[in-house]
Structure 1
Amino acid sequence: MKFSKTIFTIFLLAISTISCSGDDGTDGVNGADGAPGAAGTANVIYSAWLTAPAAAAETIDGTSGMSTTINAPELSADILSKGTLLVYVSFGSGTYTVPYTSTAGGFVNTITAISNLQKIKLFRFRHDGGGTVNLPTTLNWRYILIPGGVAATAKTAKQDYSKMSYEEVCAHFNIKP
């Protein structure tokens, strides 16, 4: 019986401690949540649409192709090591994420981007290893730089922007296409 009284007393003490408030005032009424703000471009850097110089034949890692380089003065070592670089090519039929694979000149080929400090090399190669397909100066290029800096957690895992369309990336970062 004595054991039951002790447990009952502890139980009452616990309930009174939990139900008591340290503040004698009354709670205010919560207001309605505001409308979500527009996606911003905080720290995101993007270029204007650029044209590249004439391409020249080059061999990279044993693969022959055509290459040219565009300047990206904001492409820093920090962005290269911790950030994200997105490159887009635009021509008559639309805007495409690089790497971009197509059948041009009758051959399956890919345009890819190779990033270096303040430079982006554009390289086009044929999949069959024979000859080259030009990178015409009529193509337009744009890059978007997304600096890193905040370590991702499982909850805030890094978004894979390369899986998004150009229009989705522009909408996400409030960039005028």
Structure 2
Amino acid sequence: MKIFKTIFSILLVAISTISCSSDDGTDGIDGIDGQTGATGTANVIYSAWITAPAAAAETLDNTSGMSTSINAPELSEDILAKGTILVYVSFGSGTFSLPYTSTAGGFVNTITAVSSLKKIKLFRFRHDQAATVSIPTSLSWRYILIPGGVPATAKSAKIDYSQMSYEEVCMHFNIQH
């Protein structure tokens, strides 16, 4: 009796397998792959173009210079620890990423950004340390904050935003400039 049940079970499975074929159903039409969409600004934070208050003399890391700060209320501890912070200066001859080095007044000097919680300090120093160079209040500043909470993919790991022009960063993140 046990052998009869086993043979019957095998026969039932065989009949079920043979009786089912791909012809029994209706094939659907394959969908067409859509185009890859433009990179969006999800999670990327950027400011409007803003001006900074008048600069004051300050010494940072034993370097004398002039500094001022702009508010960046979205600049969190998480972004400071894991994200990317890009700062740009705009004036008559174009838009430039910081650090920005020039020969304003005939002396080589650099404007750099020092980020902290909810603030970005703008610091300008002369390379020869002979004197300080002011930061004009007529300059416009913009920051772009890229949170670092998304694991890198092979494609995104190759991107170094600090090596991209302002226009390239705006295009990549679909930011109006």
TM-score of the aligned structures, taking structure 1 as reference length: 0.82
- Preserved contact between residue 86 and residue 98 of structure 1 (Cα < 8 Å): yes
Relative to structure 1, is the Cα distance of residues 105 and 30 closer, same or farther in structure 2, using a 3 angstrom cutoff?
same
In 1, the alpha carbon distance for the partners of 2:94 and 2:134 equals 18
Deviation readout 1:66-87 (Å, 9 max, x if unpaired): 0000000000000000110000
- Matched residue, 2:91: 91
Cα-to-partner distance string for 1:141-177 (whole Å, 9 max, x where unaligned): 0000000112325454152111111011111111110
What is the 5 A alignment of 1:71-82?
71-82=71-82
Secondary structure (helix, strand or coil) at the match of 1:51 reads coil
Tell me the number of residue pairs that the alignment of Structure 1 and Structure 2 aligns: 156
Equivalent position SS for 1:159: coil
Indicate whether 1:38 and 2:38 are aligned.
yes
Higher helix share: 2
Shift of 1:33: 2.2
**1:72-151 alignment, distance < 5 Å:** 72-151=72-151
Distance 1:131 1:59 in 2: 12
Q: Deviations over 1:92-132 (max 9, x none)?
A: 11000010000001100000000000000000001111101
TM-score (norm 2): 0.82
Stretches of structure 1 lacking an aligned partner (at least 5 in a row)? 1-21
3-state SS of paired residue (2:157) = coil
Larger CA deviation: 71-80 vs 124-133: 124-133
What is the deviation of 1:38?
Answer: 2.2
Alignment CA distance shift 1:46-1:124 (3 Å):
same
Tell whether the 8 Å contact from 1:152 to 1:158 is kept in structure 2 after alignment: no
Q: 1:28 deviation in Å? A: 4.5
Report the Cα distance in structure 2 between the residues aligned to 1:99 and 1:90, rounded to whole angstroms: 13
> Identity over the aligned pairs, expressed in percent?
77
Matching of residue 66 in structure 1 with residue 61 in structure 2: no
Paired residues of 1:82 and 1:148 also in contact (CA < 8 A): yes
CA RMSD between the two structures? 1.7
Separation of aligned partners in 1, 2:27 and 2:137: 66
